Amino acid sequence: MKPITILIADDEAEIADLVELHLQKEKYQTIKVLNGQAALHAVHTQAIDLAILDIMMPGMDGYELTRKIRETHHLPIIFLSAKTSDMDKITGLITGADDYMTKPFNPMELVARVNSQLRRSLQFSQPLPVQRTVLEKGGLVIAPDQHSVTLYGKPLELTRKEFDILYLLASHSKQVFSAESIFAQVWGEAYYESGNTVMVHIRTLRKKLGEDRDKNKFIKTIWGVGYTFND
């Protein structure tokens, strides 16, 4: 079996060394770089299964690096950053990260998140079930085989989680899903945190759908219960 290779990009050598130590204990193969340019080169020239990226790096920051990676690759990306505000986290998720951890951090929690992302990545790489058909909803076309979404003919750039949330809601119109249920079905595991992971993804998804201009056109909040899709 091919070893799983994880890219670590952080300009703080001590942090990169610590992350590498704990990942190698889990028998992961690691590639460690200290700037964004070197990280992008590694992604383009080697088989990377997951990337752990700092945001504040010289030359090319983590946001720009993620955008460039997402042009050609769908590997899981975890931000590990000293930037701790909600807006920093939202920006990271909008840019294309799959998860966001703040420094200082618990190395064992990082390993757990790496394991979780790799499990989901493996599931995502499997052939889609036959029943995942193209959905057309009021100008919105969701095509799971192409993993594409268009709104009135205009392509929308959605992250993997945003796409899965949208497809889940749209394929079960009028059914109300709690945040816990969405997390369990999209992330593939029990809801393990009291944070706002689902809410952040719903917020960014609504923005891309133009919900700031036409509130609740597609995704409706049922206060105190969860979310549903307006058919």
| Other C-beta atoms lying within 10 Å of the C-beta of residue 202 | 22
Q: Collapsing DSSP states into helix, strand and coil, what is residue 52?
A: strand
Residue-by-residue pLDDT tens, the chain, 231 positions? 678 999 999 999 999 999 999 999 999 999 999 999 999 999 999 989 999 999 999 889 999 999 999 888 889 999 999 999 989 999 999 898 999 999 999 999 999 999 988 887 766 554 444 456 888 888 899 998 888 999 988 999 998 889 999 999 998 887 888 888 888 788 776 555 545 788 888 989 988 988 755 555 788 888 888 899 987
Range 70-87 burial, b when 16+ CB lie within 10 A, else e: beeeebbbbbbbebeeee
Q: Collapsing DSSP states into helix, strand and coil, what is residue 45?
A: helix
* Count, residues in the chain: 231
3-class secondary structure for 74-103?
A: CCCEEEEECCCCHHHHHHHHHHCCCEEEEC
